[in-house]
């Protein structure tokens, strides 16, 4: 079966030679162009199915060329090629019709995989994306502030590509939620989204959790039968998405492991000698600034540049203007419907407090406050009196104005007969009470991150109890 040719547009002769050689070795027919005018002529003459277009050309801009070629050949699948420094432009290229993009220097395997994905339609077509741009609801992401609209646009633009995405933002700003949306809108959506939290997985387990291991059989390690391998997150995400939450927490040896997987496109489970090919979309998150981690020598620069092809930053809730009220009202409706509670709206005073508060725990803190209100109070209007004390009266000293630096037991022998989990839960509830219901403040006093406390509370399946319940 004869395939339509692939057009390569690049003004650097060595790039043209390298890309052509890689594609021809894989049996593709290739036509080349060194500038915009030549590209237009050859595209019209040969009607290629795919075009690799460098976004910087001597006689113009590759982004404009993509739009122009799409105008002449609506079925064309353009792939933008860019340098690291111009990732923003790659995102723009995708908005102008590119179905994917590649970052130089091009890795031959990655080039072939991207072409294969484009051929099989794995990348999401522009028509489908255009349709989605018109959708008003954005997968349950609430917020119409300017800054969040930009975030949603970027998610939309990059979701269909195979490129790695690095999501940064304070704790609770919606990084994991954004990753889920990217997966759900990507060509990898039929595979699984596998999440590995690099900051909470035990250091002695992280390698096995990431790359897999040979299952222990009868007290011996036997790695030669495929069936013996317990796959790690990388393999579980085969043809899906691997989400490495808090990737900056990976140790240097684990960073080297990850880099090896990305460079070779294969993973060798612990105890095995056989590399296994893998194909997945990678999304990483970090609450710390990864560039600062690179500068401090704690994170490998070469790995960072591989992971940071697309950077998405989620702004804190306090910088999203009226979104806080919009999210609170929508979430209140959802919670009331779920829990059968009577609240309908927020009073003006509550809206003002929400707009004034700086939300150090971001959306997760807001969700927790709302859950607390709907469970413990009666509507129909949320009044200031229904708010947890730390929000109601932010400047008054809480019971915990002398913040505990450690858990001080209230009873003479408080640990008697309790499991470690029960003691931990009491310590956490005690700290939250002392901080007037503020999770971020309680987290500070316990020396952990707010997300650790929110995860514990989520796991217990109930809202934080207000002061009067203690």
Ligand X SMILES: Nc1ncnc2c1ncn2[C@@H]1O[C@H](COP(=O)(O)OP(=O)(O)OP(=O)(O)O)[C@@H](O)[C@H]1O
Q: How far apart are CA 14 and CA 12, in angstroms?
A: 6
Q: Which member of 5, 48, 143, 440 binds ligand X (CB under 6 A)?
A: 143
Q: How far apart are CA 3 and CA 193, in angstroms?
A: 33
Q: Does 123 bind ligand X (CB under 6 A)?
A: no
Q: Does 69 bind ligand X (CB under 6 A)?
A: no
Q: How far is the CB of 247 from ligand X (least distance, A)?
A: 12
Binding mask 200-219 for ligand X (x = CB under 6 A): --------------------
Give, as ranges, the residues between 345 and 384 that touch ligand X (CB under 6 A): 363-364, 367
Q: Is 438 exposed, middle or buried (0-12, 13-18, 19+ CB in 10 A)?
A: buried
The size of the interface with ligand X (CB under 6 A), counted in residues, is 17
Q: How far is the CB of 311 from ligand X (least distance, A)?
A: 15
Q: Does 387 bind ligand X (CB under 6 A)?
A: no
Instruction: Give 303 or 363: the residue with its C-beta nearer to ligand X.
Output: 363
Q: Which member of 287, 438, 445, 466 binds ligand X (CB under 6 A)?
A: 287
- The secondary structure of 204-258 as a DSSP string is TTHHHHHH-EEPEETTEE--SSGGGEE--HHHHTTTSEEEEETGGGS-HHHHHHH
Name every residue whose Cβ is closer than 8 Å to that of residue 185 and which is 6 or more positions away in sequence: 124, 132, 139, 155, 156, 159, 160
Runs of H (alpha helix) within 26-78: 36-46, 62-72
Q: Does 155 bind ligand X (CB under 6 A)?
A: no
Q: How far is the CB of 336 from ligand X (least distance, A)?
A: 16
- Structure-block tokens of residue 138: 């954005």
- Helices 362-376, 439-446: inter-axial angle, 10-degree rounding: 120
Q: How far is the CB of 142 from ligand X (least distance, A)?
A: 4
- Structure-block tokens of residue 342: 């009577």
Q: How far is the CB of 155 from ligand X (least distance, A)?
A: 11
Q: How far is the CB of 143 from ligand X (least distance, A)?
A: 5
Q: Which member of 141, 377, 425, 465 binds ligand X (CB under 6 A)?
A: 141
Q: How far apart are CA 7 and CA 115, in angstroms?
A: 12
Q: How far apart are CA 148 and CA 166, in angstroms?
A: 17
Contact 364, 450 (CB under 8 A): yes
Q: How far apart are CA 385 and CA 387, in angstroms?
A: 6
Contact 298, 257 (CB under 8 A): no
Instruction: Give 286 or 308: the residue with its C-beta nearer to ligand X.
Output: 286
Q: How far is the CB of 39 from ligand X (least distance, A)?
A: 40
Q: Does 96 bind ligand X (CB under 6 A)?
A: no
Q: Does 154 bind ligand X (CB under 6 A)?
A: no
Give, as ranges, the residues between 161 and 190 that touch ligand X (CB under 6 A): 169, 171-177
Q: How far is the CB of 147 from ligand X (least distance, A)?
A: 11
Q: Does 283 bind ligand X (CB under 6 A)?
A: no
- Structure-block tokens of residue 47: 């009607």
Instruction: Give 59 or 333: the residue with its C-beta nearer to ligand X.
Output: 333
Q: How far is the CB of 196 from ligand X (least distance, A)?
A: 13
Closest CA to 426 of 441, 442, 444: 442
- The secondary structure of 159-218 as a DSSP string is HTS-S-EEEE-STTSSHHHHHHHHHHTSTTTTS-EEEEETTTS-TTTHHHHHH-EEPEET
Instruction: Give 141 or 276: the residue with its C-beta nearer to ligand X.
Output: 141
Choose one: 23-31, 116-124, 140-148, 203-211; the region binding ligand X (CB under 6 A).
140-148
Instruction: Give 123 or 156: the residue with its C-beta nearer to ligand X.
Output: 156
Closest CA to 272 of 310, 320, 230: 230
Cβ count near 319 (within 10 Å): 14
Q: Does 97 bind ligand X (CB under 6 A)?
A: no
First-last CA distance in the chain: 74
Give, as ranges, the residues between 410 and 449 that touch ligand X (CB under 6 A): none
Q: How far apart are CA 61 and CA 165, in angstroms?
A: 24
Q: How far is the CB of 432 from ligand X (least distance, A)?
A: 17
Q: Does 334 bind ligand X (CB under 6 A)?
A: no
Q: How far is the CB of 169 from ligand X (least distance, A)?
A: 6
Binding mask 309-328 for ligand X (x = CB under 6 A): ------------------x-
Q: How far is the CB of 156 from ligand X (least distance, A)?
A: 14
Instruction: Give 43 or 159: the residue with its C-beta nearer to ligand X.
Output: 159
* SS3 state at 50: strand
Which chain residues interact with ligand X by CB under 6 A? 141-143, 169, 171-177, 287, 327, 363-364, 367, 451
């Amino acid at each position: 079966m004869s395939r339509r040719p692939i057009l390569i547009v690049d003004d650097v002769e060595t790039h043209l030679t390298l890309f052509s050689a890689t594609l021809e070795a894989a049996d593709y027919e290739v036509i080349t162009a060194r500038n915009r005018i030549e590209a237009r002529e050859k595209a019209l003459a040969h009607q290629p199915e795919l075009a690799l277009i460098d976004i910087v050309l001597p006689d113009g801009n590759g982004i404009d060329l993509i739009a122009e070629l799409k105008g002449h050949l609506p079925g064309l699948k353009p792939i933008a090629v860019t340098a690291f420094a111009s990732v923003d432009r790659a995102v723009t290229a995708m908005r102008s019709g590119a179905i994917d993009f590649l970052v130089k220097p091009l890795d031959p395997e990655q080039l072939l995989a991207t072409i294969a994905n484009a051929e099989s339609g794995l990348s999401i077509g522009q028509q489908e994306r255009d349709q989605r741009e018109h959708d008003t609801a954005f997968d349950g992401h609430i917020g119409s502030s300017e800054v969040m609209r930009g975030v949603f646009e970027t998610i939309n633009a990059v979701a269909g590509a195979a490129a790695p995405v690095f999501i940064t933002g304070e704790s609770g700003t919606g990084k994991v939620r954004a990753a889920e949306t990217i997966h759900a809108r990507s060509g990898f959506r039929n595979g699984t989204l596998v999440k590995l939290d690099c900051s909470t997985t035990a250091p002695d387990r992280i390698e096995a959790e990431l790359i897999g291991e040979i299952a222990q059989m009868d007290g011996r390690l036997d790695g030669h039968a495929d069936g013996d391998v317990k796959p790690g997150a990388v393999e579980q995400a085969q043809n899906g998405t691997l989400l490495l939450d808090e990737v900056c927490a990976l140790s240097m040896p684990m960073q080297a492991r990850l880099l090896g997987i990305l460079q070779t496109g294969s993973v060798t489970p612990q105890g095995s000698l056989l590399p296994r090919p893998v194909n997945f979309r990678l999304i990483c998150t970090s609450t710390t600034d990864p560039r600062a981690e690179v500068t401090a020598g704690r994170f490998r620069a070469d790995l960072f540049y591989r992971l940071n092809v697309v950077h998405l930053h989620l702004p804190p809730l306090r910088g999203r203007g009226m979104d806080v009220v919009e999210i609170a009202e929508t979430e209140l409706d959802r919670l009331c419907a779920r829990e059968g509670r009577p609240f309908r709206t927020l009073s003006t005073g509550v809206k003002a407090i929400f707009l004034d508060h700086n939300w150090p725990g971001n959306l997760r803190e807001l969700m927790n406050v709302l859950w607390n209100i709907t469970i413990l109070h009666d509507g129909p209007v949320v009044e200031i009196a229904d708010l947890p004390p730390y929000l109601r009266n932010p400047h008054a000293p809480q019971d915990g104005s002398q913040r505990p630096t450690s858990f001080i037991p209230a009873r003479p022998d408080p640990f008697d007969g309790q499991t470690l989990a029960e003691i931990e839960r009491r310590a956490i509830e005690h700290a939250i009470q002392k901080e007037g219901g503020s999770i971020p403040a309680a987290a500070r006093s316990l020396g952990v991150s707010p997300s650790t406390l929110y995860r514990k509370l989520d796991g217990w399946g109930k809202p934080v109890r207000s002061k009067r319940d203690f």
